[in-house]
Structure 1
Amino acid sequence: MIQLTASPTSALVDEPIHIRATGLNPFQVVVFVASMKNEKGNLFVSQAFYRANEVGEVDLEHASALGGDYVGVHPMGLFWSMKPEKMLTRNIKRRVMNSPDLVELKLYDLNKSSFPFAKSKDIPKASLTVERWYVAPGVTRTQVRDGRIRGALFIPPGAGPFPAIIDMFGAAGGLIEFRASLLASRGFATLALAFIDYEELPSDSEELDLEYFEEAVNFLLRHPKVLGPGIGIVSVCKGAELGLSMAIHLKQITAAVLINGTNFVFQNIQKYHGQVKQPLPFIPELISRNALGLVEFRHFVGDPRDEAVRPFLLPIEKAQGQFLFIVGEADKNIHSKICAEHAIERLKSNGKNNWALLSYPGAGHLIEPPYTPVCYASWVSNVPILWGGEVIPHAAAQEHSWKEIQKFLRKHLLPRPTSHL
C-alpha cells in the first residue's frame, strides 16, 4: 500500500518537515507535487521527480530529486520552490493569527500521469495536507495605536521579561507582520512597525521623522514584559536604511540586523530633533529594465563608492550597538553587498569592530524566513520589480541567515551569565 507521510503535519513555517513515500515499486519514478493558495486565492505550486530505492521508498531527507523545480537533495525543496501561477505574485502572509497556510502534498506515478502534474486531473497515489503556522501557541498580538505609533506588538507566552525587537520592511509601506510573529514565536517581544502608507501614516512622505522611531523604541521599552535596557532591530531594504539611522541616533539600539539596505539616505529626507539629512537625488534615467521588462533599481538607487553619493552617507561610526549585515550577492534592487562592505570599512577605519557580515552568493533582495516560496520578482505599486536571486542558493541563504539572526539577537540582547569564582 502506497503511503505519503509528513512529520510534523502542523508546525511553524520556519520548521522543517520530514516527508516520505513508502509502498512503491523498487526504483519506481514518482512525482511529488506541493500546492498552496494564499489569502488572496493565488495558487503556488512546485513539483519534483524522484526514484524510489530498492525497497520502494523515497525519503526526502536523503533522496535526490532528478528534476522538476529543483535537482539534488533538498528536504524542504517542495516548499521553497513553489512558484505563483499568476506571475509576479509575492506571498505575503497578512493574517498571521489563527490562520495557517495549508500546503497540499500529492504523489503521482510518473508513468501514468498527464503533464503538467501540478494541474493533473489524475487521482494521486497518495495525498495529505500540512499546516504552516506563522505564530506559536500562546503568542499574543496587540494592535498598536499609541500616539503617532502604528503597528502590531507580539509577546511570547510566559512571564518574561523578553528581549525586544522592532521589525521593519521596505518602502512599499503598510504593516507586514509575518516576521514579527515568528520572532515572537522564538522568544522575542516584537513590534512590527509601520512607517508609511498605513492608517493615518502618509502614503508617500518626502520626510521621515526619526523621532517617530524613537517614540516606538520608548513605547517598547515601557512594556512590562520587555527586558531592556536595549532593544534590537530586524530590517530590510528601506527599513534597513532607517534601522541604521536609528542605531546611529538612539543609544537604546543594542543590536541591528540590516538586510539588503543602503548605508546612505535615499529618496526621503530624514529629520531628527532639528537635524536634517538630505537624500540622494533621484536620477530616473538610471532605472533599467531587463529583457522581461522587470525594473532593476540597483543603479538608480546609487553606489556608495561614487563621489556623488558621499554627502549622503550615514555616519555609522557614531553607533554604539552591534551590527549584523545580511546581503544577497545577486540583489538586483540595491548594491547591498557594496553598501555593507563600505559601511564596514568606515567602521574599521574608525577603530570599530562592532559588526558581522553574512554575504550569500546567488541570493537576491528578499531574504526572508526559511521554507517560504522564493520571490524573484513581484509587483509593487503597479511596478514589476526585479529582486534577483537563484532559487536554491537563495533558499539556503534564508535557512542559514534565520538561525544566525536569532543567535546574534540573543547574544547582544540577553544579559551575559556572570561567572562565580
Structure 2
Amino acid sequence: MSNQVQLLVTPTKALVDDKVDITVERLAPGQPVTLHARLVEGTARFQSYAHYRADDTGRVVVAKQPSLGGLYAGIEQMGLFWSMQPSPGQKPGLRLRKKDVSTPFLVEVSVHEGNVAVMGEKNLACLATKTIERWYLGDDVKRIPVKEGRVRGTLFLPPGKGPFAGVVDIFGSTGGLPEYRAALLASRGFAALALPYFGYDDLPENISDIDLDYFEEAVDWFLSLPNVRIRGVGVLATSYGGHLALCMAVYMNKVDAVAVIGSYTAVVGNPLPYKSKVLPCARFVLDQVIFTKEGFAYSGNLLEDTTKDPGRKACIQVEKTQCPIMFVAGEDDLNVKSVLYANQAIARMKDHGKTNYTLLSYPWAGHLIEPPYTPHCGVCYHAVYDKCVLMGGEPKGHAAAQEDSWHKILDFFRAHVGSSAHSKL
C-alpha cells in the first residue's frame, strides 16, 4: 500500500564501528512512534528502544531528530546500538562480546505505534522492520589460527599482500581468546594478532603461570611474516593485559607503540619472569574488595599501594622506553584506578624529561572501553571472582569515550607502527 510505513536503513551491512542512518517515512505529521532494536548472540539477548515524533512531513530521521525518551534522549544517531541492555530475565553481569567473528551481529530494528515501553514485550504490533548486519570481520579479511612454538592465537590479515603495520591485541584476566577487536583492526588495515596467554588450548591454565618471554616469542614470530612491516609492532591491551603491554614496551625494542585501556602501570598479582630475572609485583589485597548489598564486587582498591614499598618497586619503568604510549582511562572506572595509575606513570616519564605519552581521560566512562557502539557494561560477571564486578561508567558518557578513543587509537598506530622506510618489500 502506498501509505505503508517505510523504515530505511543505510547501510544494512557494515562494520561495527560504522555509523548507520535510520529513517522512518510515511508517518502522519507529528505521529509518535517507538524505535526498538533487538540482538541475539547465542543465549544472550539485548535490546533498546527510543521514542520519537514525526516531523511535519511525516518523517523521523534519527541522526537529526531527538529521542524524547526511552533508553536515551536527544539527537543520537547510534543511540539504538550503544544504549542496548540485556533483555529482562537475563543473568546479572551479562556482557555483549562476539565469540564467532565469522558471523555478524544481527540487529532487528522495528517501528511501533505510539511512545511505548517495549523492553520484554514479545508480540507488539509492528509498523515496519529491518535487519542490520554488524560485522567485526570485513570482506576478504583472512582469519588464520596460530600454533607456532609456544605461541597460540589468531592472525587476521587485511586484503592484499601488504606489508601491513602489525598490532598485537591482548585482553585481561578473563583469559581465553577474544578475537573481535583484532578482527576489527584487520578490517581497518592492520595485520592483527589476537594473542591469548592463559586459559586457552595448551597455554597455562592459571594467570599466575605466565612469563614475559612468551610475548617476545609472539612478537618475533609476528614480525617474521612477509605480510608484516619489519620494523616493529604496536600493542593494544586492556585491563590486566595493559601492564604486560607496558613491560613489552620497556624490554622489547621491537615494540613501536603501545595503547593500554583501563590498565595498571605496575606488574600486578604475581611476579613476572623474563629471561634470567623476575620482575617484582604489587600484590592484590583481597580483603580490600568491597561487596554491595546486591553482592557485586567493588575492586578499585584491590591493589596494594604503588607509591610505597613494596608496591612501588613493581612500577613499570616506562620512563626507559623510547616508544610512544597512549593511556586510555575512564574517570569512573570502578575496577581499576586507571586514571590514577596512568598519571603515576606519566609523572615518572615527565621526571625523566620524556614526552612520548598521551592520556585520553574520559568523564562518565567506566572500565570496559570497547570499540564504538558496544553497549555499556557497568556490572560484569568475572570468572576469577565468580562474582559480578562493578565496572563503572554511564551509558552516554561511556559511548562517547568508546567512539573517540577508538579512532584515536587507530590514528596512533597508523602514525607510529612499522615505518615504511623499514618495510619488507
Match of 2:45 in 1: 43
SS of residue in 2 equivalent to 1:298: coil
Query: Deviation per CA, 1:96-136, whole angstroms, max 9, x where unpaired?
Result: 02x1110000100116x6x5355141221111100001111
Q: Flag the 1:63–1:304 CA change in 2: closer, same or farther, 3 A.
A: farther
The alpha-carbon deviation at position 414 of structure 1 amounts to 4.8
Determine if contact 1:161/1:225 at 8 Å carries over to the other structure: yes
Equivalent residue letter for 2:70: G
Q: TM-score, normalised by structure 1?
A: 0.95
The alpha-carbon deviation at position 416 of structure 1 amounts to 6.9
Question: Can you give the 5+ residue segments of structure 2 that lack an aligned partner in the other structure?
Answer: none
The alpha-carbon deviation at position 268 of structure 1 amounts to 2.0
Match of 2:21 in 1: 18
Match of 2:66 in 1: 64
Report the aligned-residue RMSD.
1.5
Q: TM-score, normalised by structure 2?
A: 0.95
How far apart, in 1, do the equivalents of 2:219 and 2:26 lie? Answer: 56
Residue in structure 1 matching 2:180, options 178, 181, 184: 178
The alpha-carbon deviation at position 341 of structure 1 amounts to 0.7
How far apart, in 2, do the equivalents of 1:217 and 1:237 lie? Answer: 20
Determine if contact 2:158/2:189 at 8 Å carries over to the other structure: yes
Residue in structure 1 matching 2:324, options 322, 325, 330: 322
Match of 1:100 in 2: 104
Q: Flag the 1:62–1:307 CA change in 2: closer, same or farther, 3 A.
A: farther
Residue in structure 2 matching 1:84, options 59, 63, 86: 86
The alpha-carbon deviation at position 301 of structure 1 amounts to 2.4
Determine if contact 1:208/1:269 at 8 Å carries over to the other structure: no
Residue in structure 2 matching 1:166, options 165, 168, 171: 168
SS of residue in 1 equivalent to 2:210: strand
* Residue 5 (structure 1) aligned with residue 8 (structure 2): yes
How far apart, in 2, do the equivalents of 1:117 and 1:374 lie? Answer: 17
Match of 2:192 in 1: 190
Point out the more displaced range, 291-300 or 320-329.
291-300
Equivalent residue letter for 1:89: L
* Residue 239 (structure 1) aligned with residue 244 (structure 2): no
* Residue 109 (structure 1) aligned with residue 113 (structure 2): yes
* Residue 388 (structure 1) aligned with residue 392 (structure 2): yes
How many aligned positions are there?
414
Residue in structure 1 matching 2:147, options 142, 145, 148: 145
Match of 1:364 in 2: 366
How far apart, in 2, do the equivalents of 1:269 and 1:117 lie? Answer: 47
How far apart, in 2, do the equivalents of 1:202 and 1:9 lie? Answer: 41
Point out the more displaced range, 167-176 or 263-272.
263-272
Residue in structure 1 matching 2:36, options 33, 36, 43: 33
Determine if contact 1:247/1:253 at 8 Å carries over to the other structure: yes
Determine if contact 2:204/2:210 at 8 Å carries over to the other structure: no
Determine if contact 2:281/2:311 at 8 Å carries over to the other structure: no
How far apart, in 1, do the equivalents of 2:406 and 2:370 lie? Answer: 8
The alpha-carbon deviation at position 91 of structure 1 amounts to 1.1
Query: Deviation per CA, 1:65-122, whole angstroms, max 9, x where unpaired?
Result: 111101111100000111112131111111102x1110000100116x6x53551412
Match of 1:402 in 2: 406
How far apart, in 1, do the equivalents of 2:204 and 2:147 lie? Answer: 15
Determine if contact 1:210/1:271 at 8 Å carries over to the other structure: yes
Equivalent residue letter for 2:359: L
Equivalent residue letter for 1:405: I
Determine if contact 1:303/1:339 at 8 Å carries over to the other structure: no
Determine if contact 1:303/1:338 at 8 Å carries over to the other structure: no
Equivalent residue letter for 1:43: R
Match of 1:223 in 2: 225
* Residue 125 (structure 1) aligned with residue 130 (structure 2): no
Aligned residue runs from structure 1 range 288-367, under 5 A: 288-306=290-308, 308-367=310-369
How far apart, in 2, do the equivalents of 1:341 and 1:56 lie? Answer: 51
Identity across the alignment (%): 40
How far apart, in 2, do the equivalents of 1:200 and 1:413 lie? Answer: 30
How far apart, in 1, do the equivalents of 2:73 and 2:340 lie? Answer: 31
Query: Deviation per CA, 1:373-408, whole angstroms, max 9, x where unpaired?
Result: 111112111221111111000001100111000000
SS of residue in 2 equivalent to 1:327: strand
Equivalent residue letter for 1:232: G
The alpha-carbon deviation at position 216 of structure 1 amounts to 0.3
How far apart, in 2, do the equivalents of 1:151 and 1:303 lie? Answer: 34
Q: Flag the 1:242–1:61 CA change in 2: closer, same or farther, 3 A.
A: same
SS of residue in 1 equivalent to 2:173: coil
The alpha-carbon deviation at position 27 of structure 1 amounts to 1.2
How far apart, in 1, do the equivalents of 2:64 and 2:289 lie? Answer: 44
Q: Flag the 1:119–1:125 CA change in 2: closer, same or farther, 3 A.
A: same
Determine if contact 1:4/1:20 at 8 Å carries over to the other structure: yes
Query: Deviation per CA, 1:22-62, whole angstroms, max 9, x where unpaired?
Result: 11111111110000001x22110101111111111110111
How far apart, in 2, do the equivalents of 1:368 and 1:133 lie? Answer: 15
Equivalent residue letter for 1:391: P
Match of 1:208 in 2: 210
Aligned residue runs from structure 1 range 247-326, under 5 A: 247-306=249-308, 308-326=310-328
How far apart, in 1, do the equivalents of 2:8 and 2:308 lie? Answer: 55
How far apart, in 2, do the equivalents of 1:126 and 1:47 lie? Answer: 14
Equivalent residue letter for 1:318: K
Question: Can you give the 5+ residue segments of structure 1 that lack an aligned partner in the other structure?
Answer: none
